Structures are given as structure tokens and as C-alpha cells.
């Protein structure tokens, strides 16, 4: 039997273990619970995002300006300063030349890219799932994949003419193989037990394709699709340089021929920014399509 000791009369009652006395600030924390930094929200997060992703471009512009001012890159006629290029870009934007060139090139790039995705994914799934298609397509893919696509552009000009069709065809040729090969590789690596389980449960062949194969291969397809997007831009730009009457490629070549170097660099910087924005937009879309996969967090 234990004897309970009572405090003397008038003595303050001690606080309960783990609780501060009345009026005192709470300093009780759970074990291992360290104070975490508050996440940036609103304008702060936007500024941080821009600083992390755009600082290489800002650094490049600064180095370009410093080397240009000191004459390391030659005189300013050969290599204009960034400010001169920006001023000329404003002039070309105001007179409508630059927006029209961007619209023409972007329309051709997106058309070529859409065709490449439809054809590449369809053929890739067939190559990955059907052995007879794989045997028929493997020699063709082995031959045409390493071939420089610009080498076939004269033939495309003869077939499709000097209009937009030949530019779209070269962009399609540049964009086709990355997504086709990525889709074929991803489809061939789908776990067969998943397919067999679906089939044993009565799922049709088409249902297995849409419910099992395509969701499993989507990360691989999107990896190839990202490369194909830039390939379409490269192909269209090259075609416009070679035999174009409009677009960013034609703008750059005309500026080179008449020695308007500032206009030439405007076209170069614009197509670079266009590729950057297309790639960022694709990654933004990819993260939302792959919210269920680890690849979506990259």
C-alpha cells in the first residue's frame, strides 16, 4: 500500500508532465518534429521557378554582351549585341514579320508532330505486340533510322512541291522514329502476366490494349514523344531554310543573304525560344498525364 504525499497548504500545484504552467508559452514538441521551412506561395514561388530555370539563359546573355562589347566575338556587324537583336526583334514584331513567321513555322511543326505521333504510336504498338509486324519492320527501321532525314528532302520536294507539304513531310520524318522506337520498346516490355490476367477475366483484345498495354507504355511513349517534338521543329526549320518562302527558316536565310545580321540572330533566338517553350509545355502536360507514375514527378 502506497502513501500519497500531499503538498503543503498554499504551495503552488506543479504542472502536469509535458504541459507548461498557466500563462507560459508552450515549448512541448513531439520527438523528431523539427520546424520545417514554410513553402513559398504566390509571387515568391513564381520568381523562384523562373530563377532556377532561366538563370542559364540570363548568364548566356550577359556573357554574350560582355564579349561583344570587348570585341572578342568580332565587330558588332558580325555579332550584334543582345540589345541590338532585341531592338530589331521589336521592329520585326511591330511590322508583323516576326509574328507571321512564328505562326507559319508553329503550324507546320504541330501538324508534322501530330502525324508522327499517330503513325509512330500505332506502328510502335504493332511492332511491340505482333511478331510478324516486328519481323517486317525491323529491316526498315534499321535502315531509315540512322539516315539523315535532310538527305531525302530533295525527293520530298519532287514529290510534294515547294509548298508547306514538303516542310511538313521533313518534320514528320524527323519526328517519326523517336516515338516509334520508344513505343515499340515500351510495348515489348509490358508484363505478360498482366495481359494474361486480363484475358483470363474475359477482357477482349481491344480492351486489353486500352486498359493494360497503353497505360503501361505511356511513360515510354511520352519519352519518345518529347524527342519527336524537337525533331519536328528541327525538320521544319531546315526545310524552310532550304526551300522556303515563309517561316522562321526563310527569315533567317534571307537576312543572311542581304547581310542583315541582326535579323538573322532574331530568327535564331526566336526558334530557340520556340523550342524551349514547346518543351516546357510538353513537360507540364507530361506531369499531369503521369500523376500516378514516378516519371510524372520529374
pLDDT tens per residue, range 138-185: 888 888 888 888 888 999 999 998 888 999 999 999 999 999 999 888
Average pLDDT, whole number, for the chain?
79
Q: Considering only 175-179, 218-222, 231-235, 279-283, which range has the smallest mean pLDDT?
A: 218-222
Stretch 58-83: mean pLDDT: 76
Between these two residues, 273 and 207, which has the higher pLDDT value? 273
Q: How far apart are CA 4 and CA 136, in angstroms?
A: 92
Residues in contact with 39: Cβ distance below 8 Å, sequence separation at least 6, in sequence order: 45
pLDDT tens per residue, range 93-148: 998 889 999 999 999 999 999 999 999 999 988 888 778 888 888 888 888 888 88
Angle between helices 82-94 and 261-289 (to 10 degrees): 80
In the prediction, which pLDDT does 179 show? 93
pLDDT tens per residue, range 233-258: 999 999 999 987 888 999 999 988 88
In the prediction, which pLDDT does 287 show? 86
> The pTM is what?
0.76
Q: 85: pLDDT confidence band, cut at 50, 70 and 90?
A: confident
pLDDT at 37 over 60: no
71's grid cell: 570585341
In the prediction, which pLDDT does 274 show? 93
In the prediction, which pLDDT does 117 show? 94
Where do the domains of the chain lie, and which CATH numbers do they carry? 94-291 (1.10.3720.10)
Distance of CA 275 to the CA centre of its chain: 9
Stretch 76-81: mean pLDDT: 75
In the prediction, which pLDDT does 175 show? 94
Exposure string of 144-158, with b = 16+ CB inside 10 Å and e = fewer, is eeeeebbeebeebbe
Between these two residues, 58 and 89, which has the higher pLDDT value? 89
Alpha helices in the chain (DSSP H): 43-69, 82-94, 97-129, 131-144, 153-160, 164-188, 192-200, 205-208, 214-243, 247-257, 261-289
8 A C-beta contact, residue 70 and residue 78: no
pLDDT at 33 over 80: no
Other beta carbons within 10 angstroms of residue 270's beta carbon come to 21
pLDDT at 265 over 50: yes
Between these two residues, 203 and 168, which has the higher pLDDT value? 168
Amino acid at each position: 500500500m502506497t502513501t500519497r504525499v500531499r503538498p503543503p497548504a498554499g504551495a503552488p500545484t506543479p504542472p502536469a508532465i509535458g504541459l507548461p504552467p498557466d500563462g507560459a508559452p508552450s515549448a512541448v514538441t513531439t520527438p523528431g518534429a523539427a520546424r520545417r521551412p514554410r513553402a513559398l506561395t504566390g509571387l515568391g514561388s513564381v520568381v523562384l521557378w523562373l530563377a532556377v530555370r532561366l538563370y542559364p539563359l540570363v548568364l548566356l546573355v550577359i556573357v554574350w554582351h560582355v564579349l561583344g562589347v570587348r570585341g572578342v566575338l568580332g565587330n558588332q556587324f558580325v555579332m550584334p549585341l543582345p540589345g541590338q537583336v532585341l531592338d530589331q526583334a521589336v521592329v520585326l514584331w511591330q511590322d508583323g514579320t516576326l509574328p507571321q513567321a512564328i505562326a507559319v513555322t508553329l503550324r507546320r511543326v504541330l501538324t508534322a508532330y501530330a502525324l508522327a505521333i499517330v503513325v509512330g504510336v500505332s506502328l510502335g504498338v504493332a511492332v511491340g505486340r505482333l511478331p510478324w509486324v516486328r519481323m517486317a519492320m525491323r529491316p526498315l527501321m534499321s535502315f531509315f533510322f540512322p539516315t539523315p532525314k535532310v538527305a531525302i528532302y530533295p525527293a520530298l520536294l519532287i514529290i510534294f512541291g515547294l509548298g508547306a507539304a514538303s516542310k511538313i513531310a521533313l518534320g514528320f520524318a524527323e519526328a517519326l522514329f523517336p516515338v516509334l522506337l520508344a513505343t515499340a520498346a515500351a510495348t515489348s516490355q509490358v508484363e505478360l502476366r498482366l495481359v494474361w490476367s486480363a484475358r483470363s477475366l474475359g477482357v477482349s483484345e481491344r480492351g486489353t490494349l486500352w486498359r493494360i498495354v497503353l497505360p503501361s507504355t505511356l511513360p515510354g511513349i511520352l519519352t519518345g514523344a518529347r524527342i519527336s517534338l524537337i525533331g519536328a521543329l528541327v525538320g521544319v526549320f531546315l526545310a524552310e531554310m532550304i526551300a522556303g518562302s515563309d517561316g522562321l527558316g526563310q527569315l533567317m536565310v534571307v537576312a543572311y543573304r542581304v547581310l542583315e545580321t541582326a535579323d538573322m540572330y532574331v530568327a535564331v533566338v526566336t526558334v530557340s525560344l520556340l523550342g524551349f517553350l514547346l518543351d516546357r509545355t510538353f513537360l507540364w502536360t507530361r506531369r499531369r498525364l503521369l500523376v500516378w507514375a514516378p516519371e510524372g514527378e520529374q
